[in-house]
Amino acid sequence: MDVPRSGLENFIFTFFNAEVAQKYLPDLLQGLVITAALSVCITLSGVLIGLLLAMVRSSGKRWASVPVVMFADVFRALPPLVLLMVFFFAFPFINLSMSAFTATCLALSLVLAAYAEESIWAGLRSLPVGQREAARSCGMTALQALVYVQIPQALRVAVPPLTNRVISVIKNTALGSVIALSEVLNIAHSATSNSGNPTPLVLGAALYLLFFIPIIALARWWLETTWQYKR
């Protein structure tokens, strides 16, 4: 005769089932590797594209700055999930098929690039006009003044808000589960369905915490010790 479990025992059996966790942990760790790789790809490509767009916008030429402004406005306004669905499901109709990883990386990179461009542009706008004029008077070209004088100072202003935006955007890697990307959330959801137990989802959430909390803590420490803006 089975002995009835207490409420606490039922809670642990349902949400912290050691047997289920042991079975699906290897798959979830593989998903975490995909999430980490995707986060690195999004961060590097998004910030780099945003930096290049801010540099183009700083040229002051209307034919160059207007498309950049339109890009930033559109990709900040569109929900990332919509972009993801378009890239993965609609682009094959124009012979531009891509993997779930590529579609997720592209969609979130463009969103991050839009925010990065605005942050860096705001940093450039905050600089005194004399910075550029002084660099030009020393014999630098406009591009050299931008790269060696303005951009380093603008980044000091832009990095704090941009860091928060990077963290916010890369958390959206979970949207890849919609197009069957084998990241943590998708694997956890499938494991929960297969096992009939929500322990994999709890374990997936724990892995997200283990992945993002060190990043957030490192970003806070880095900003407070390295990127303090001193006037």
CA 149 to centroid of chain Cα atoms: 28
Dihedral over Cα of 198, 202, 204, 205: its sign = positive
CA distances from 115 to 61, 199, 214 (A): 21, 36, 23
183 near 39, Cβ under 8 Å? no
- Sign of the alpha-carbon dihedral angle for 154, 156, 162, 166: positive
Per-residue pLDDT of the chain (231 residues), as tens digits, is 455 666 777 777 778 888 888 999 999 999 999 999 999 999 999 999 999 999 999 887 888 889 999 999 999 999 999 999 999 999 989 888 899 999 999 999 999 999 999 999 988 888 887 777 777 778 788 788 888 888 888 888 888 888 888 888 888 888 888 888 888 888 888 888 888 888 999 998 898 888 888 888 887 777 767 655 444
pLDDT at residue 139 in the model: 76
Closest CA to 53 of 102, 103, 110: 110
Domains of the chain: 26-129+157-184+195-225 (1.10.3720.10)
With contact defined as beta carbons under 8 Å apart, do 56 and 65 qualify? yes
